[in-house]
Chain A
Amino acid sequence: MEPVVHLRAAVALLDRFPALAGVDLDVDAGEVVLVRGPNGAGKTTLLRVCAGLLPVASGEARVLGVDLVRHRSDVRRRVGLLGHATFLYEDLSVAENLDFWTRAVGASTDDGRAALDRLAVAPRLHDLPVRALSAGQRRRVSFAAMVARRPELWLLDEPHAGLDATGRDVIDGLIGEAAAAGATVLFASHELDRAEAVAHRTVTVSGGAVLAEGASR
């Protein structure tokens, strides 16, 4: 069976600088893979390439069977990306944001409400504008918007950042459930103890290339 993520000598440029400098990586369906590495190693770029947001300058790149070199926009609707940014409109309420983002991908607005409940976003927050939320609450709403899309591939950039202990446990639980349901998870984290406990496999990147791969705990 074809891997969900298949990269061979993949190069991606940021302002003409090779942020990914020949990455080889395969991720199978249902796998949870931790991408680790120092700041500037290329973790975020790797996730954005897999999401179809950044072009692949050279090499081979297929995600969910889509050739990213030629048709990267075709994969976008099938992946969920949690980035450093919240991906939310500050002046809209939590509920309005969820309604917009779920309807934009053709999902039900009920999926958005269910995701908010799953992320333990208190109902009293649903009608507040996003700008009134704390960083941790925004993170949960962001995650809810991503979960509501029901993506086949989860791409998570520092998913635990800014969350309290309860929030981190919720995220870990969601990652486990997603993998059990057949989704694939590729995530970057600096919180190695927690992340390695969730991941099936660890990939270490540095200088825009994969240095090592190994089984996780």
Chain B
Amino acid sequence: MIRGAALMAGKDLRLEWRSKVGISQVLPFAVLVVLLFAFALDPDRGVLERATSGLFWVVVLFSAVLTVQRSFAVEAEDGVLDALRLTGLSPAAVYLGKVAALVVQLLVLEAVLALAVAVFYDTTFRGWPLVVGVTFAATLGIAGAGAVYGALAARLRSGNTLLPLLLLPLLAPVLISATRGFEVGFGREAGPGWPWAALLGIFAVVYLTLGAALFRPLLEDT
């Protein structure tokens, strides 16, 4: 299963590198949204500073929807999904491979976004370990849930427009926990931040387990 997952992840990352959709479209979109919020809220720097954590994760979620859509659109093209099923790769391997590739792409996106909020919002990252821990756990949860719903949406008519409606409400706990964790990490909120990271970790583990176990029906014709 690990070999299959690594093969899928490598293929997805190579596809992304060749097509440059993430770098040329998703990444500029994310930075543009950060910039637009800076323009909209700049007259009141206090609001911008207070909203930085939430804005960061909202932009991550919107960008994640685009990344997940792209990840499963390539499998729906030209009968590729049939070919994947004919390989005999286990559905869990396909799922974990997709998740791994999504995690790498989202981490790159988040690194660029962190730089963007540091520049445009004057954000200082004080609690680095917490910020990094929250980011990894949240990204794993987003990718884990995104791969399940991405596969589901890819099988449906109008799936592309349906995906945000399915995925974003589900990721609300991630948005809340990651935002609170960042607030502590940025030093804007007192109290322990690691419980938020732990909550995100639990969400990620639950979704990864469910996804790996239940991915088979999402790949099958019924």
Measured CB to CB, the residues of A under 8 A from B are 48, 51-55, 73, 76-77, 79-81, 83-93, 96, 100-101, 103-105, 129, 145
**A76 vs chain B, min Cβ distance (A):** 5
Is B86 close to A, CB under 8 A?
A: yes
Is B77 close to A, CB under 8 A?
A: yes
Cα–Cα distance between A204 and B5 once the two chains are bound (Å): 42
Which of A52, A54, A85 has the most B CB atoms < 10 Å from its CB?
A85
In the complex, the number of residue pairs spanning A and B with C-beta atoms less than 8 Å apart equals 70
Cα–Cα distance between A79 and B82 once the two chains are bound (Å): 12
Of the A-B pairs whose beta carbons lie under 8 Å apart in the complex, a sample of 20, sorted by A's number, is A48-B82, A53-B86, A55-B221, A55-B222, A73-B88, A76-B85, A76-B86, A77-B88, A84-B79, A85-B80, A86-B78, A87-B78, A87-B82, A90-B77, A92-B14, A92-B15, A96-B14, A100-B11, A101-B83, A104-B89
**Range of interface residues on B (Cβ < 8 Å):** 20 to 34
Is B158 close to A, CB under 8 A?
A: no
Cα–Cα distance between A76 and B18 once the two chains are bound (Å): 29
Instruction: Kindly list chain A residues whose C-beta atoms are within 8 Å of the C-beta of B78.
Output: 85-88, 90
Instruction: Kindly list chain A residues whose C-beta atoms are within 8 Å of the C-beta of B89.
Output: 104
Which of A48, A79, A86, A100 has the most B CB atoms < 10 Å from its CB?
A100
Of A48, A89, A129, A145, which is within 8 A of B74 by CB? A89
Instruction: Kindly list chain B residues whose C-beta atoms are within 8 Å of the C-beta of A88.
Output: 78, 80
Closest 10 CB pairs of A and B: A85-B79, A77-B88, A87-B83, A104-B87, A91-B19, A91-B18, A85-B78, A76-B86, A87-B79, A86-B78
**A137 vs chain B, min Cβ distance (A):** 14
**B29 vs chain A, min Cβ distance (A):** 20
Does the CB pair A89–B80 fall under 8 Å?
yes
Cα–Cα distance between A129 and B88 once the two chains are bound (Å): 25
Is B218 close to A, CB under 8 A?
A: no
Interface residues of B in 105-148 (CB under 8 A from A): none
Residue in A closest to B86 when the chains form the complex, CB atoms:
A76
Cα–Cα distance between A180 and B19 once the two chains are bound (Å): 42
